[in-house]
A and B are shown apart, each in its own frame.
Chain A
Amino acid sequence: MAKVLMKGNEAIGEAAIRAGCLNYFAYPITPQSEVAEYLSKRLPEVNGVFVQGESEVAVGYMIFGAAACGERVMTTSSSPGVSLMSEAISYIAGARCPAVFVNIVRGGPGLGGILPSQGDYFQATKGGGHGDYHMLVMAPDGVQEAVEMTMKAFPLAEKYRGPVMILGDGLIGQMMEPVEFPDDLYVEPTNKDDWATNGMERRGSSTKNIVKSLYLDPATLNNHNLLLKSQYEQMKREEVRFESYNTDTDYELLIVSYGTMSRVCKTAIDNLKAEGLEIGMVRPQTLFPFPEKAIHDAAAKESCKHVVSIEMSMGQMVEDVERSVKGKKEVTWFGQCGGEVPTPEAVMEHIQTLLNQNQ
């Protein structure tokens, strides 16, 4: 298929359809409303379901209801909306239903701003809602990767029977890049008859299915949490994705950066390379599970003097980077919030400063 020029938001909507998700519930919020606008037009063409809910709270449960029936379902939102949905996400994780959530992150806390941010890193990777749960979180660095991750999200949600989040930012949602929709990323939905409330008639069973997150017996709840934990451990073994950039050199410093920010860092790395300075980067594509080993090993390289986590947030991912590096090298944070994305020049300047300190 030929490439088309699409906004990230629209491309995510189309990717969901190509992945076989014909059910979409959402509430408008900048900077992701184009997904809803696009799908409100596109889904009726493919006999899909489009519902604009009355709030993100309600949308979260529309997703839950649809997912509990075993159907592929997605919503998209942005930071304040995801906070409202976090209640439902906790229930969905507890009830073990596959569902895809897209967060096109804007600045916070509170109403914050509408410009790009990575301030929801903690919310996405450490829970967000209540209770012991995780989402599998993927962070695209552009429109093409947003498409691919969206398409992969549905089978992954089914594999682990849980919520999967695509963590983008306002820039990825708003910018246009040429994209293609790889047909080979389409995966047939799994059979969900052993748990879904899809009606006994449909599955030819005389046994009812119950989708719930209530376990009043402490031992049962503990076992339920252990089961969830074992799935998160499996994700850590099987789903870690990352990109290494310029790491085959004797880099003096290692950057860890993701999403839009990592593209800025790539330009900074290229520019510094032209000046004769080698900088490596590990770009987590999954934020949960986090590429701990890749970062640990990249930081351990003898030439590497320092590790810096560069984020459009006030030092969130840096905690996971520190955890990965395990004290082997000094780890610091650099970043900016509020929509002012650090420029390649600012990144280069900061790297120079760090290296001068390490002389």
Chain B
Amino acid sequence: MGKTFSKPEALSDAHTHYCPGCTHGIAHRLVAEVIDELGIRGRTVGIAPVGCAVMAYNYFSCDFQEAAHGRAPAMATGMKRVRPDLMVFTYQGDGDLASIGMGEIVHAANRGEKFTTIFINNAIYGMTGGQMAPTTMPGQRATTAPAGRDVEQTGMPIRMCELLSSLATPGYIARQALLRPKYINKAKKSIKQAFEYQMAHKCFTFVELVSTCPTNWGMTPLDSLKWAEDTLLPYYPLGEFKKPE
């Protein structure tokens, strides 16, 4: 009997440092599978963020750069402009992308830069230890919002897909989730679609993945999945928000 399941080539043999129950591993695997399926590992460059995925360069087996907090889209711009033949993806969390890197992502999307952004939204700062993110839900506790997010003081959570979809520049903008197998299958389709558009030099491509953070949410992995489905998905609806003509 032949092998029916194996690790994608685009993933390295390194053990990740992610917490038990974290969905980063799933996101990494989906991206790696797409890279394998498209046969592009030799011309792919990933950009690691600052955040939990800061060491993603150890987990993928393609070229990698490491950005400063929030600046991955600017780096990707520099790369794609000088080497349009490279396949470039940024892998960013919600603090990185929607807070400190808001300017970079919006302008890269608006210039229609031909790279792919994988946006991990788990509604909290992970690596720095559970502080409030721009995507933290109203009332959700965080170490910098001990009584829960007060929207009078901090505003409402930012919905990146909706925000980026409002730009007039064509793009591929989708939100999927890593909470159940059925969502994960769709997530992979969106990631593949994004990479395919990039390969065709079509448009800016952006896939948000609603994820969990059991450690900083203070929940078990199972409770995290349920909480995310009950609380995050109603506010962050899944689907393709924008497709190029």
Q: Are chains A and B touching directly in their complex (CB below 8 angstroms)?
A: yes
Q: Which of B42, B48, B67 contacts A201 (CB 8 A)?
A: B42
Q: When the two chains form their complex, are residues B78 and A25 in contact, meaning their CB atoms are under 8 A apart?
A: yes
**0 or 1 for each of B31-72: is its CB under 8 Å from A? (1 = yes):** 000000000011111011000001101001111111110011
Interface centre among A208, A211, A214, by most chain B C-beta atoms within 10 angstroms, is: A208
Q: Which of A78-111 contact B (CB under 8 A)?
A: 87-88, 91, 95
Q: Which of B63, B68, B104 contacts A210 (CB 8 A)?
A: B63
Interface centre among B44, B77, B86, B111, by most chain A C-beta atoms within 10 angstroms, is: B77
Interchain CA distance A58-B67 in the complex, whole Å: 11
Q: When the two chains form their complex, are residues B66 and A199 in contact, meaning their CB atoms are under 8 A apart?
A: no
Q: When the two chains form their complex, are residues B81 and A212 in contact, meaning their CB atoms are under 8 A apart?
A: no
Q: Which of A57, A198, A214 contacts B83 (CB 8 A)?
A: A198
CB pairs A–B below 8 angstroms (19 shown): A53-B107, A57-B104, A58-B74, A61-B77, A61-B78, A62-B77, A64-B75, A65-B65, A65-B74, A66-B78, A71-B83, A73-B78, A197-B64, A197-B65, A199-B42, A199-B85, A211-B65, A212-B57, A212-B64
Interchain CA distance A69-B44 in the complex, whole Å: 11
Q: Which of A269-311 contact B (CB under 8 A)?
A: none
Tell me how many residue pairs across A and B have CB atoms closer than 8 Å. Answer: 135
> Which range holds the interface residue count of chain A?
35 or more
Q: When the two chains form their complex, are residues A61 and B75 in contact, meaning their CB atoms are under 8 A apart?
A: yes
Residues of A within 8 A of B179 (CB): none
Min CB distance, B4 to chain A, in Å? 26
Interchain CA distance A201-B55 in the complex, whole Å: 23
Q: Which of A57, A60, A67, A199 contacts B86 (CB 8 A)?
A: A199
Residues of B within 8 A of A49 (CB): 81-82
Is B76 at the interface (CB under 8 A from chain A)?
A: yes
Known contacts A65-B65, A212-B66; decide if A200 and B78 are in contact (CB<8 Å).
Answer: no
Interchain CA distance A329-B107 in the complex, whole Å: 55
Residues of B within 8 A of A95 (CB): 65-66
Q: When the two chains form their complex, are residues A65 and B76 in contact, meaning their CB atoms are under 8 A apart?
A: yes
- Interface residues, chain A, with chain B CB atoms under 8 Å away: 23, 25, 49, 51, 53-55, 57-69, 71, 73, 87-88, 91, 95, 197-202, 208-214
Q: When the two chains form their complex, are residues A208 and B61 in contact, meaning their CB atoms are under 8 A apart?
A: yes
Q: When the two chains form their complex, are residues B65 and A55 in contact, meaning their CB atoms are under 8 A apart?
A: no
When C-beta atoms are compared, the residue in chain B nearest to A62 turns out to be B78
Is B145 at the interface (CB under 8 A from chain A)?
A: no
Residues of A within 8 A of B77 (CB): 51, 53, 58, 61-62, 65
Q: When the two chains form their complex, are residues B66 and A65 in contact, meaning their CB atoms are under 8 A apart?
A: no
Residues of A within 8 A of B76 (CB): 65
Residues of B within 8 A of A61 (CB): 67-68, 71-72, 74-75, 77-78, 104
Residues of B within 8 A of A63 (CB): 78
Residues of B within 8 A of A88 (CB): 68, 71
Other 6 A-B pairs with CB < 8 A, given A73-B78, A199-B44: A62-B78, A66-B81, A95-B66, A208-B60, A208-B61, A210-B66
Residues of B within 8 A of A59 (CB): 74
Is B158 at the interface (CB under 8 A from chain A)?
A: no
